[in-house]
Amino acid sequence: MGSRKGKKRFKAQVKTPKSYAGFFALAAICLAVIITYANSLNGPFVYDDLRAIIQNESIRIENLSPSSLSLAAFTGASARRPVAGLTLALNYYLGGYSVRGYHVVNTIIHILNGILVYFLCLVLFRRFRISEIEGDPGFLSPLNAGAVFASLVFVLHPVQTQAVSYLIQRMASLSTMFYLLSFIFYAAGRERSGRSRWIFLGASLVSWIMALGSKEIAAVLPAVVLAYEWLRGRAEEGRKTRKVVFLISVAVLAAAVPLFVFLGGDPLAKILDTYRGYDFTPGERLLTELRVVVFYMGLVALPLPSRLNLDHYFPVSKSFIDPLTTLFSLLILGAVLVFALAYRRKTPLISFCILWFFINLAIESSVIGLDLVFEHRLYLPMAGVCVGLGWCLVKALGRFRGKALIAGGIILVLLAWGTISRNAVWQDEARLWQDVVTKNPHSYWARNSLGMAYMRSGELSEAVSNFKEALKLKPDHIPTMINMSVAMAGQGNTGEAQRLLAKVLDFNPKDFEALYNLGLMLASDQRLEDAERYFQRAVEIRPWAHQANIAMGRLRLTQGRLDDAGRFAKKAVKADPRSAEGHLLLAGIYLRQGDLNKSLEEYQRAVELNPFDPSAQAAIGELLIRMGKTSEGLKHYMDALKLQPDEGLRRRIIEVLEYNKSK
């Protein structure tokens, strides 16, 4: 009997040794993310991705020199968030605008955040002394299972898809990564003494700075640390207590620094300035956010794909009773906070998780003028929610081990299904915006974006139809007017397109897009002098806009002004070194100037950037033949012919072959 008991204990100890528990946890997190995000890796750049990535000249680096990295981090659209900007620049350096590379980095960040949530759970479980449940120290021990469950909920929850699959929201996920690192380092440092304590606290400070450099949401970390110290109840009496209070006070003051940088010397004026373009006041926004936060709580609890949207319609609250749900939301939030305070001694970890959720929503749910609701704002707050859910599983495993594991497994499977379903929408631009329009027919910018998606796929009639619907919702929306003019020009309706652009320029004579597109339309009508006037105005407004410089270069080339054409082409290439168009233009100019070697170099660079351009392949072939390298030239001719069958090119190949035979 005794020997059988001993054998049973031995089996329990070797089932999943403690040394392997962490490895299995990390493997589970990685596998879960890979499975659920595999179908999002080819999703296109959408909406703000275009402005912050495609049109962001500062990230277009050609080398890793300190000056290039500094420009990428601290200039242009990246200036306020240099760490995030630097990662975008590195993406561009490694793969240009290949969208898969940006998705891979976002997915890796999501995996790392899942791993950090796992360690956050272990740290908080230990600090809040959730150790009354003993058992096998392996993978399925209650504490480890709770941490794994929390991390898997974090990475599998469908509401997280916007922060991962919407590429520019890397700023939120990257800030979260450094934020979690900072908190974990802080908690670890508080448990140490001597030199190691200061090493951990120093690492915490550096991580916090990196989080702030990714997105300003990290400014509230000192408030979370304060809540942690208060609820943990570990600060000692006397001098040590005063020291802790002093350090936290310094941290709170430090949090004012990024807010000061963001708001400047006149915070009220800066806050009011953020309301340009919005039809609500700071007071109305604050009232509305009461309902928004309750809505967020609903998304966390019931994240059905049908409830998720890139652009939620949310009517503005005018008072506590208009609509009445504003008052109900205030009561709900008040009840949750009262619960957190009332049960802080009995369940301090749950109280901390509740405070984590609300504190980390504070900046984007306050009086600062931002869009009312976005799902990616839940990414960081979700970490606290998941820790709380992990704690619930730990408690449940103590009483209903088998049932708790089954219930947890079912929840994870449902979350995974929801994420895969939601990511399927992110795969296709037209499908994404059709989803938005279906769920929110009030969104003019969703209609505009759907029109853009159709225009990019060549469905011009569908594009114009959606642009018209967008203008019904917002008649003075200039980007929609410009987009509709481009679609109309593509249909051959250039007269109406030009009239629409002239209307835009009546609103804003310095609108770059209107000037540039009107110039293109006039050039296509052979009204070159008029086109030149609009192109010049566009270049004056944005001197380094590569498309406008290319347009001016082509115009000068047509006019035979080769030196001027070269100057504009070089500016275009400098502005966007990976623009195949710019290199093709420069190659054509060098060819006209008789510099065959430089022309060949530029054509070859264009082919490196766009291997599927038959005209560039054919041009290289012609140049090589002129330079006496017939066999190499014929190879490029054949490559061009494979890309696009062309009778003229086929005849040219035959001519070259016959000429060689006759020699």
- pTM confidence score: 0.86
User: CA-to-CA distance for 337 and 448, rounded, in angstroms?
Assistant: 41
- DSSP-H helix ranges across 50-169: 66-74, 82-95, 99-127, 142-156, 161-165
At 655, the pLDDT band (50, 70, 90 cuts) reads confident
E strand map for 229-334 = none
Count of CA atoms in the C-beta half-sphere (13 A) of 19: 1
As a whole number of angstroms, the longest Cα–Cα distance in the chain is: 103
Residue 123 resides in a domain: yes
User: Do residues 419 and 156 make contact, with C-beta atoms less than 8 angstroms apart?
Assistant: yes
User: Do residues 261 and 216 make contact, with C-beta atoms less than 8 angstroms apart?
Assistant: no
User: Do residues 618 and 637 make contact, with C-beta atoms less than 8 angstroms apart?
Assistant: yes
pLDDT at 367: 87
pLDDT at 313: 92
Strand partners, 322: 319
User: Is residue 233's pLDDT more than 80?
Assistant: no
At 7, the pLDDT band (50, 70, 90 cuts) reads very low
What is the identity of the amino acid at 262?
Answer: F
Residue 555 resides in a domain: no
User: From the centroid of its chain, how far is CA 376?
Assistant: 9
> Could you tell me the two tokens for 507?
């609103």
User: CA-to-CA distance for 191 and 619, rounded, in angstroms?
Assistant: 68
Strand, helix or coil at 482? helix
Q: What is the pLDDT of residues 420-451, one digit of tens each?
A: 999 999 999 999 999 999 999 999 999 999 99
User: Do residues 382 and 300 make contact, with C-beta atoms less than 8 angstroms apart?
Assistant: yes
On the 0-12 / 13-18 / 19+ scale of CB atoms within 10 A, 612 is exposed
The domain total for the chain is 1
Q: Quote the domain boundaries for residue 257.
A: 16-45+97-425
Q: Identify which has the larger pLDDT, 208 or 190.
A: 208
Residue 225 resides in a domain: yes
At 2, the pLDDT band (50, 70, 90 cuts) reads very low
Percent of the chain with pLDDT over 70: 90
Among 331, 388, 322, residue whose Cα is nearest residue 357 = 388
Residue 397 resides in a domain: yes
HEC string of 584-637? Answer: HHHHHHHHHHCCHHHHHHHHHHHHHHCCCCHHHHHHHHHHHHHCCCHHHHHHHH
Among 425, 409, 349, 423, residue whose Cα is nearest residue 152 = 409
pLDDT at 279: 86
At 400, the pLDDT band (50, 70, 90 cuts) reads confident
What is the identity of the amino acid at 82?
Answer: P
Strand partners, 373: none
User: Is residue 97's pLDDT more than 50?
Assistant: yes
User: Do residues 643 and 612 make contact, with C-beta atoms less than 8 angstroms apart?
Assistant: yes
Q: Identify which has the larger pLDDT, 289 or 274.
A: 289
Per the prediction, the chain carries an average pLDDT of 89
Average pLDDT over residues 48-57: 89
- Residue 323: is the preceding peptide bond cis (ω within 30°)? yes
Residue 169 resides in a domain: yes
User: CA-to-CA distance for 486 and 514, rounded, in angstroms?
Assistant: 10
pLDDT at 651: 87
User: Do residues 248 and 225 make contact, with C-beta atoms less than 8 angstroms apart?
Assistant: yes
User: Do residues 328 and 404 make contact, with C-beta atoms less than 8 angstroms apart?
Assistant: no
User: CA-to-CA distance for 621 and 600, rounded, in angstroms?
Assistant: 10
At 57, the pLDDT band (50, 70, 90 cuts) reads confident
User: CA-to-CA distance for 495 and 488, rounded, in angstroms?
Assistant: 9
Residue 191 resides in a domain: yes
pLDDT at 357: 98
User: Is residue 255's pLDDT more than 70?
Assistant: no
CB atoms within 10 A of CB 274: 16
Residue 593 resides in a domain: no
Residue 233 resides in a domain: yes
Q: What is the pLDDT of residues 321-371, one digit of tens each?
A: 999 999 999 999 999 999 999 998 899 999 999 999 999 999 999 888 899
User: Is residue 294's pLDDT more than 70?
Assistant: yes
At 659, the pLDDT band (50, 70, 90 cuts) reads confident
User: CA-to-CA distance for 371 and 364, rounded, in angstroms?
Assistant: 9
User: Do residues 217 and 172 make contact, with C-beta atoms less than 8 angstroms apart?
Assistant: yes
